[in-house]
Amino acid sequence: MENWDGSASASAFHVPEWMIQFADQKQEFNKRPTKIGRRSLSRSISQSSTDSYSSAASYTDSSDDETSPRDKQQKNSKGSSDFCVKNIKQAEFGRREIEIAEQEMPALMALRKRAQGEKPLAGAKIVGCTHITAQTAVLMETLGALGAQCRWAACNIYSTLNEVAAALAESGFPVFAWKGESEDDFWWCIDRCVNVEGWQPNMILDDGGDLTHWIYKKYPNMFKKIKGIVEESVTGVHRLYQLSKAGKLCVPAMNVNDSVTKQKFDNLYCCRESILDGLKRTTDMMFGGKQVVVCGYGEVGKGCCAALKAMGSIVYVTEIDPICALQACMDGFRLVKLNEVIRQVDIVITCTGNKNVVTREHLDRMKNSCIVCNMGHSNTEIDVASLRTPELTWERVRSQVDHVIWPDGKRIVLLAEGRLLNLSCSTVPTFVLSITATTQALALIELYNAPEGRYKQDVYLLPKKMDEYVASLHLPTFDAHLTELTDEQAKYLGLNKNGPFKPNYYRY
């Protein structure tokens, strides 16, 4: 079984090496299909398939029931057994969680209300593969209200909330997911979504690309009826661009990862809050007066820097890109090389997307009690591996907090072993998830209803007008009142009164 995307593109311009490595690892995976091997390798398939949200803990569930859901026969109250979840009896608890989430996802609820008149997804058969949480449930039930039929699997073997899955199954959604799937379970669940007698999907909603990959490998003919793919993750989007470059993408795909609203919320605004939260929950440190170096001044770095500056920290920034560097200067941060400040800082935060930004040499030179953590999307930014040497002692002092102790007694405080701090040590506000879910819903509607020819076999950004619509659906949360253009003003500006309001290259 060869690499699904050919990866001849791997050496092409601007394809990150980590994409190539990842492709290599997958080939390894296919050679050693032992259970353990598979599970560990599942990580290589999509980064998100094994990471878990700390908030994604099961609420009530500590049952000792070790029977695999695959081996159980369950029915919901209407008699259907077209699902596979941990325990259908947990449905009631899950329903309450969904109801609470509904209160904080006003945009999807607004879509549902509109759907009482029109059903823009009537006839849509959506197969989905995402984290299965209360928020996802609100999305799925919204898609249902908009007219779609859905079948769903989990994109991560740990992140499923069993009670929510049960509630979805109870209300008639064919869901195949539970917390703690094996690698084999993982693909079995996906297959159960896709491979159904008398039902064939015409839309894909993916998070990480595994579902798309599976259909490419196993049921390539299905693409004849599929109208489009909506993909949310960095990894999945990269795969799609590679497919497109290789000429192998046979349906339109929508990259919702790079939508304005998603980018700003997931990165700038969310990180502005979660950096403080992650540091506090793990270390109880005081921010005032602390010296901090933030590596990288993209949206994530901007958020981290703004928050820490506001809390009274003294913040230094490192950058490779002179434009971002100049922004850091104008925003009031000293731009330095890491070496210049490494001896004096109290906290080191990486958010570059790069690898080995913090090396063993840097770690050796840090002062006692220095805190080191990562806010970037992969766990390669800090060279944690270099700390696993005999002369250093590791001491786990709290969950997600390690003291690494040098022979002379110096301690470094390493958070989440260098993995993404805000995924590991804080939670993601429902409001942010609401933005993303709404974007996904609109992307599905757009692709499903687009007239012939609007989208070709390529990867698209969400049309600006829909991005604007996502934003507008979230304004009522803030009791925010938008101004409308008068006819005269619209004419003056050469704009349609309903948008889009900006040229495509506008930077916000």
3-state SS, residue 348: strand
> Judged by CB, which is closer to its own copies: 79, or 288?
288
Q: Which residues pair with 189 in a beta bridge?
A: none
Of 327, 424, 436, 440, which one interacts with its own copies (CB under 8 A)?
327
Among residues 291, 296, 281, the alpha carbon closest in space to that of 311 is found at: 291
* Contact call for residue 474 and its own copies (CB under 8 A): yes
| Listed ranges 64-72, 385-393, 437-445, 471-479: which one lies at the site for its own copies (CB under 8 A) | 471-479
Cβ atoms of 165 and 181 within 8 Å: the answer is: no
Residue with Cβ nearer its own copies (32 or 334): 334
> Should residue 483 be labelled a site residue for its own copies when binding is judged by CB under 8 A?
yes
Check the annotation: does 300 bind a ligand.
yes
Which 8-state DSSP code applies to residue 485?
P
Q: How far is the CB of 496 from its own copies (least distance, A)?
A: 9
Burial class (CB in 10 A: 0-12, 13-18, 19+), 161: buried
Q: Where are the alpha helices (DSSP H) in 9-55?
A: 17-31, 35-45
* Other Cβ atoms within 10 Å of 125 Cβ, number: 18
The 3-class secondary structure across 74-88, one letter per residue, is CCCCCCCCCCECCCH
Beta-bridged to residue 348, according to DSSP, are 293, 372
Site for its own copies in 142-201 (CB under 8 A): none
Q: Which is nearer to its own copies, 91 or 338 (CB)?
A: 338
**What's the closest the beta carbon of residue 380 comes to its own copies, in angstroms?**
8
- Closer residue to its own copies (CB): 215 or 351: 351
Structure tokens at 90: 């947990």
User: Pick from 2, 13, 78, 79: which binds its own copies (CB under 8 A)?
Assistant: 13
CB of 426 to its own copies, least distance (A): 7
- Name which of 55 and 80 has its Cβ closer to its own copies: 55
Give the start-end residues of each E strand in 213-256: 228-231, 253-255
Task: State in angstroms the smallest separation of the CB of 289 from its own copies.
Answer: 4
DSSP 134: H
Query: Which of 145, 164, 193, 338 contacts its own copies by CB under 8 A?
Result: 338
422 among annotated binding-site residues: yes
Site for its own copies in 393-432 (CB under 8 A): 426-432
Residue 352 in marked binding region: no
Output the six-digit token pair for 271: 């990180």
State which of positions 93-122 bind its own copies (CB under 8 A): 103-104
* Segment lying near its own copies (by CB under 8 A), choices 76-84, 107-115, 171-179, 329-337: 329-337
d(CA 494, CA 485): 11
- Using CB under 8 A, pick the residue from 109, 110, 234, 325 that binds its own copies: 325
364 is in an annotated binding site: no
Nearest by Cα to 375 from 224, 264, 287, 270: 270
State yes or no: residue 494 binds its own copies (CB under 8 A).
Answer: yes
State which of positions 259-278 bind its own copies (CB under 8 A): 260-261, 263-265, 269-270, 272-273, 276-277
Query: H or E stretch including 91?
Result: helix 91-103
Among 25, 68, 200, 356, binds its own copies (CB under 8 A): 356
185 is in an annotated binding site: no
To the question of whether residue 266 is assigned a binding role by annotation, the answer is yes
Tell me the closest approach of the beta carbon of residue 213 to its own copies, in angstroms: 21
Q: Name residues whose C-beta falls within 8 Å of residue 253's C-beta, 6 or more positions apart in sequence.
A: 228, 229, 230, 231, 240, 244, 458, 459, 460
Is the Cβ of residue 39 or residue 502 nearer to its own copies in the bound state?
A: 502
- The answer on whether 436 is annotated among ligand-binding residues is no
Least gap, CB of 290 to its own copies (angstroms): 8
The answer to whether residue 487 forms part of the interface with its own copies (CB under 8 A) is no
**How far apart are alpha carbons 90 and 458 in whole angstroms?**
42
Q: Which two tokens stand for residue 414?
A: 């390493």
Q: How far apart are the first and last CA of the chain?
A: 44
Distance of CA 71 to the CA centre of its chain: 31
C-alpha 333/C-alpha 317 separation (Å) is: 6
Among 66, 284, 452, 487, binds its own copies (CB under 8 A): 284
Tell which one of 234, 336, 392, 405 touches its own copies (CB under 8 A).
336
Q: How far is the CB of 369 from its own copies (least distance, A)?
A: 6
Which residue in 280, 392, 450, 457 binds its own copies (CB under 8 A)?
280
Cβ-based burial of 77 (10 A; exposed 0-12, middle 13-18, buried ≥19): exposed
Query: Could you say which of 139, 304, 307, 347 contacts its own copies (CB under 8 A)?
Result: 307
Q: Which residues contact 224 (CB under 8 A, 6 or more apart)?
A: none
Contact in structure between 351 and 421 (CB atoms under 8 Å): no
Neighbours of 311 (CB within 10 A): 17
Binding part of the chain for its own copies, among 31-39, 214-222, 440-448, 472-480 by CB under 8 A, reads 472-480
For residue 61, the minimal CB distance to its own copies (Å) is: 16
User: Is residue 24 a contact residue for its own copies (CB under 8 A)?
Assistant: no
- Strands 401-405, 393-398: pairing kind: antiparallel
Shortest Cβ 341–its own copies spacing (Å): 10
Q: Which residues are annotated as part of the binding site?
A: 133, 207, 232, 262, 266, 298-303, 319, 422
Q: Which residues are annotated as part of the binding site for NAD(+)?
A: 298-303, 319, 422
